[in-house]
Amino acid sequence: MAYSKFALGDGDSDSDWGDLSSECSSDSDDSDDSDCDVFGSGRDFSWDEHVQRLSEAQFKLRYRLSFHSFNKLLAILAPSLAVTNEKQACNCRSGKPVELPTRLAAALRYFAGGDPQDLMLIYGMSKMMVMHCVWRVVDAIHKHLDNMHFPIDDVEKLKVLEAEFSAASRGGFWRGQVGAIDGVHFRMECPTERDVPDAQRYYVDRKNSYCLLAMAICDSKRRFTWVDIGMAPSTHDSTAWSATPLGMRVEAGDLPYPFFLNGDSAFTVSPSMITPSNNDPALDDFDFYQSSNRMAIECAFGILIR
């Protein structure tokens, strides 16, 4: 959700969202013969054998997910990752398409900072296929983001979110919160004209870098319940939030009483948004609880970036 094709890299300009067998086929004049010959599509790599060599802890260290969570994610994304033309895919010199778990694994390792050159060696595939797996997984995840809706119209779900925040707070005294909100910048390479019409729109002076701005809400367990990356990264968090469809509804009073969101000092206090006091000594206790119950979103971003 926080990724873009120019944020992660160029994805190899001649990579295609269709099956890449034509690039690896011996009949293709445009294929890199040495690349496909040495690092074919899935050549000499078995996902089952790979998994058997890893303990649960080793698997989680490599993929940032438990084996169970990996398989759960795979089951969700599998229809979007499946090879649509297996006969054509088998024209690759390895003689077989890349296994679905391998496609997801290569993408997850890349998201965690893996170098495509290393992933080529680990999974026995070309760099082009590595990047194809990356963008195939990104597109698959985007297709399933529709189920990430903040339940502003569902009072029962809001009650569950509120109860979880209250239970997680010290003493259970903090009541009414249904989300922690904040913005985060994701650094990226300068996008090209092929990526966006105005690259400078993504440059942030104070970061001295090109970035994407993600506004997000999470629950008490640091799970994202809403995200938006539609605003220019130089936009102030409060302004970016106010310009989103959800932000406009919350500020219009559509979030039922007594529920509220918890944000930092970048946001404007309102009946639906709690923010810190202006360092008022009389409100030290309030600021402590407010900050403690806002930390979920900071931790969520930290986990995502790490």
pLDDT digits (tens, 9 = 90+) for 121-159: 999 989 999 999 999 999 999 888 766 789 999 999 999
Same structural domain for residues 71 and 179?
A: no
Give the single-character DSSP code of 27.
T
Burial 250-259 (b: 16+ CB within 10 A, else e): bbeeebeeeb
- Residue 217, domain member (yes or no): yes
The Cα–Cα gap between 290 and 273 comes to: 11
Same structural domain for residues 122 and 228?
A: no
Same structural domain for residues 162 and 300?
A: yes
Same structural domain for residues 129 and 159?
A: no
Q: What's the pLDDT tens digit per position in 55-71?
A: 999 999 999 899 999 99
CA 191 from chain center: how many Å? 19
Amino acid in position 67: F
At CB < 8 A and 24+ separation, what contacts does 82-91 make?
83/19, 84/18, 84/19, 85/19, 85/21, 88/19, 88/21, 88/22, 89/19, 89/21, 89/41, 90/21, 91/21, 91/22, 91/24, 91/25, 91/26, 91/27
Q: What's the pLDDT tens digit per position in 238-295?
A: 999 999 999 999 999 999 999 999 999 999 999 999 999 988 889 999 999 999 999 9
What pLDDT does 8 receive? 44
Q: Tell me how many helices (H) and strands (E) the chain has.
A: 14, 6
Residue 21: pLDDT band (50, 70, 90) is: very low
Same structural domain for residues 82 and 217?
A: no
Q: Which of 264, 250, 288, 9 is nearest to 134 (CA)?
A: 9
What pLDDT does 90 receive? 54
- Residue 253, domain member (yes or no): yes
The Cα–Cα gap between 67 and 51 comes to: 9
Structural domains in the chain (count): 2
22 or 225, which is more confident?
225
145 or 174, which is more confident?
174
- At residue 204, the 3 state secondary structure works out as strand
Same structural domain for residues 164 and 295?
A: yes
Same structural domain for residues 139 and 258?
A: no
Range of the domain at 163: 155-305
- Asked if 294 contacts 263 with a C-beta cutoff of 8 angstroms, the reply is yes
What pLDDT does 89 receive? 55
- Asked if 133 contacts 145 with a C-beta cutoff of 8 angstroms, the reply is no
Same structural domain for residues 17 and 56?
A: yes
Cross-strand pairs, 217: 181, 226
The Cα–Cα gap between 112 and 306 comes to: 7
The Cα–Cα gap between 78 and 65 comes to: 17
- Asked if 182 contacts 263 with a C-beta cutoff of 8 angstroms, the reply is yes
What pLDDT does 279 receive? 82
- Residue 107, domain member (yes or no): yes
- Residue 150, domain member (yes or no): no
Same structural domain for residues 99 and 213?
A: no
- Residue 232 reports pLDDT greater than 60: yes
- Residue 21, domain member (yes or no): yes
Pairing of strands 209-218, 260-262: unpaired
Of the chain, the percentage scoring pLDDT greater than 70 comes to 82
Same structural domain for residues 130 and 168?
A: no
198 or 14, which is more confident?
198
Same structural domain for residues 132 and 179?
A: no
Look at residues 145, 167, 200 and tell me which one is the last residue of a structural domain.
Answer: 145
Give the single-character DSSP code of 20.
T
The Cα–Cα gap between 94 and 89 comes to: 10
Q: How far is CA 88 from CA 32, 115, 152, in A?
A: 18, 28, 47
What pLDDT does 172 receive? 84
Look at residues 93, 111, 145 and tell me which one is the last residue of a structural domain.
Answer: 145
Look at residues 145, 179, 200 and tell me which one is the last residue of a structural domain.
Answer: 145
Same structural domain for residues 122 and 233?
A: no
The Cα–Cα gap between 82 and 247 comes to: 37
Q: Which residue has tokens 């890199």? A: 32
The Cα–Cα gap between 240 and 234 comes to: 9
Residue 43: pLDDT band (50, 70, 90) is: low
294 or 84, which is more confident?
294
Of 71-75, 79-83, 161-165, which range is least confident?
Answer: 79-83
- Residue 181, domain member (yes or no): yes
What pLDDT does 63 receive? 93
- Residue 218, domain member (yes or no): yes
- Asked if 227 contacts 234 with a C-beta cutoff of 8 angstroms, the reply is no
181 Ramachandran zone, left/alpha/beta (phi>0; psi -120 to 50) = beta
